[in-house]
Amino acid sequence: MAVIVKYVVERNGVERMTFTSKKEADAYDKMLDVAESLEQMLSKVDVPLSEQQVESLALEIAKQKDEFVAVLKGSKPAVTKKAKPSAKSNTENVTPLKEA
């Protein structure tokens, strides 16, 4: 018989996520704390957002907090390069010309 240790992150009596490492569980719990604080801040802004939008936005900002903090400190956001389409994909939707 194997013994498996699981760390469960719980909020308001609801299990949110289960982890196998304490470090991951603590990081997720901290991210939820940040999201909760952001929700309180966002609910006070003068922008019409639904409760669901506020919750979703707060969670996304909390997930990417390091990037947001860097931008708020004056850094430019990291630019992700879009992959160039390959030559094959450029011709996939082209109909071949018929010879006259």
- With H, G, I as helix, E, B as strand and everything else as coil, classify residue 57: helix
pLDDT tens for each residue of 61-77: 999 988 888 888 888 77
pLDDT tens for each residue of 39-53: 898 888 888 888 898
Share above pLDDT 90 across residues of the chain, in percent, rounded to a whole number:
31
**Higher confidence at residue 66 or residue 98?**
66
Rounded mean pLDDT, 17-33: 92
Query: pLDDT band at residue 93, thresholds of 50, 70 and 90?
Result: low
Task: Tally Cβ neighbours within 10 Å of residue 51.
Answer: 9
* CA separation for the pair 87, 84 (Å, rounded): 9
Rounded mean pLDDT, 6-12: 89
